[in-house]
Structure 1
Amino acid sequence: MPQSALSVSRHPGAPGLEAVCGVGVAADIVRHAHARSIVGLCLGGGRRITAGGGVFEAGPGQGFVIPPGVVHACAPAGDAGHSYVALAASAACFPPGRGDGEAAVEVWPRLWRDRQAAELLLATAAAVSSGDGRALRFFQALAARLDLRPASPPPLHAATRRAKAAIDAAPAEPVTVAGLAGLAGVSPYHLERLFRRDLGVPLLDYALSRRVALAALRIGEGEEICEAALAAGFCDQSHLSRQFRRRMGVPPGRYRVSRPS
């Protein structure tokens, strides 16, 4: 089995579009949701996506779509790791008018198998990684091929929105349910219930995921893992490594970010 690795590429000319390449990813990834549309292709092994009580399993050569805001967990389909390429795209990456019309907004993951779409996805990922100016054009052709449409996550209750904003504004700061409930103007029990209903994960799990995201950002900028761990609010590198693997699928030492000029 290849050594696990996860690389993220961001194109300076296509803000909101990222390419993610996972190799030998063998860890289960806890429940989470994305703010952007995800479209990916399984290259080796199998990828199991669990959402809403359903299980969607992609094998080699099969693709998957995860709409924004859909809470899901991911895992390799077998004992061995799996490899994949995925794109994360904000609504601004879609062609103008793509979200118009009466087409139903997707609310569950779906699988696809289409040779031309696979070629377009790989071409988009390669263009993002190399800084090729055609990246956005390739993605928009892929969106048309798979009938992908931009979507926004569902609206949040005001209390959830206030608590989430407080966490997002200072992810490294320690938080308590009671403290956030006071800020949101509701009881701790009510906030926990609203937060889980709106975002699909417990409040403190969300706060931990934001710390991991902050650490990933700093590691991607070249900071040492131990320094990134402390800056993101973890007690030490070991604590970060455990949580990083549960949310990213690989240890932090196997995570890379590239920004082509």
Structure 2
Amino acid sequence: MDDWARYWRDPARPVEAMHAHFVRHVFHRHSHDAYSFAVTESGAQRFHARGGAHTSATGMVMAFNPDDPHDGEAAEEFGFTYRIVHIGPEVVREVLADAADGGAGPPAMPLFERPVREDPVLARALLGLHGALVGGGGHLVRDEWLTASVTAMVRRGAARPPRDRLLSPGGQSRAARRARALLEESYALDLPARALAEAAGCSRYALYRAFRAEYGMPPSDFQRQLRLRGARRLLTAGRSAAEAAAETGFADQSHLHRWFVRCFGVTPGTYQRAALSRG
């Protein structure tokens, strides 16, 4: 298989992602001005970092601090495939400050002492973030995965895990209800997590936990559920799938089609024909 790489960059903040397969490519010793987290999907790569030689095999997680020199190359004949995200220090600082919900002083920046580790929980979080970044999801999906991945990485891999500041049970319920009201009012809009948190009166991290506790799903899933319900109403009224997708906030008709089948088991067309059938 030939070498290939696909790259994505957030136009609004220093967050980047790459999905690549390398057999012949050899990385010269270099560093990044961001935190870099990667998951090896298949094969294995070897690299030198922090005075030692390391190997990341299938399912393992790599973590590099900003300005952390490292190289890299395939450790197997057929190469390796991996997904990597680069997150600017200012974004990490913002996520940690939000999780602490205004604690005293700016949060201490994390330091990752081990450049490679085996941790399925971290791997799932990072793969979820990568998918949200490159998969065309809206602001809410990307913000949720970014918060979940950074906090998971820092708690499980950093030398100085942060302390979180959470809401009381009553406060959780009130925050979740306020966020739900905004979602129901504006589900077709590409709402960022910050807008929901402001409506709820708490941090984004606290709202995420509160919403899951109250409704059993993150706000982005609830938003998608509202969009699907809206699309069903439009389809029942005779609107086309393309119109329903555009008016309820889906990226395009194929995006609606994919989620409609995943959640309802039938295509939008099948549902509409049944809804409009006179027999």
Q: Equivalent residue for 1:11?
A: 10
Q: Equivalent residue for 2:111?
A: 105
Whole-Å separation in 2 of the counterparts to 1:52 and 1:119: 26
Deviations 1:142-193 (A, max 9, x none): 12112167xxxxxxxxxxxxxxxxxxxxxxxxxxxxxxxxxxxxxxxxxxxx
- Matched residue SS, 2:129: helix
Aligned-pair CA distance for 1:125: 1.0
Aligned-pair CA distance for 1:109: 5.0
Q: 1:92 aligns with which of 90, 93, 97?
A: 90
- Matched residue SS, 1:8: strand
Q: Equivalent residue for 2:239?
A: none
Q: Equivalent residue for 1:26?
A: 24
Structure number with bigger Rg? 2
Whole-Å separation in 1 of the counterparts to 2:110 and 2:85: 22
- The higher relative CO (CA closer than 8 Å, separation ≥ 6) is in 1
State the aligned residue count.
147
Between the aligned residues of both structures, percent identity stands at 18
- Matched residue SS, 2:84: strand
Q: Equivalent residue for 1:218?
A: none
Contact 2:22 2:74 in 1 (8 A): no
C-alpha RMSD of the superposition:
2.5
Aligned-pair CA distance for 1:40: 0.2
Q: 1:56 to 1:69 in 2, by over 3 A?
A: same
- Matched residue SS, 1:84: strand
Q: 1:135 to 1:104 in 2, by over 3 A?
A: closer
- Matched residue SS, 1:123: helix
Deviations 1:113-132 (A, max 9, x none): 22222222111111111232
Name the one with the larger helix percent.
2
Q: Equivalent residue for 2:149?
A: 142
Residues 1-261 of structure 1: matches in 2 within 5 Å?
A: 2-12=1-11, 15-94=13-92, 95-97=95-97, 100-101=107-108, 105-106=111-112, 109-132=114-137, 133=139, 134-147=141-154
Contact 2:28 2:72 in 1 (8 A): yes
Contact 2:39 2:82 in 1 (8 A): yes
Contact 1:44 1:82 in 2 (8 A): yes
Deviations 1:56-94 (A, max 9, x none): 211001110011101111111123311100000002322
Gaps of 5+ in 1: 150-259
Whole-Å separation in 1 of the counterparts to 2:153 and 2:107: 16
Gaps of 5+ in 2: 100-105, 159-250, 253-279
Contact 1:44 1:83 in 2 (8 A): yes
Contact 1:26 1:80 in 2 (8 A): no
Deviations 1:200-243 (A, max 9, x none): xxxxxxxxxxxxxxxxxxxxxxxxxxxxxxxxxxxxxxxxxxxx
Identify the range of structure 1 (32-41 vs 76-85) with the bigger mean alpha-carbon deviation: 76-85
Whole-Å separation in 2 of the counterparts to 1:92 and 1:120: 20
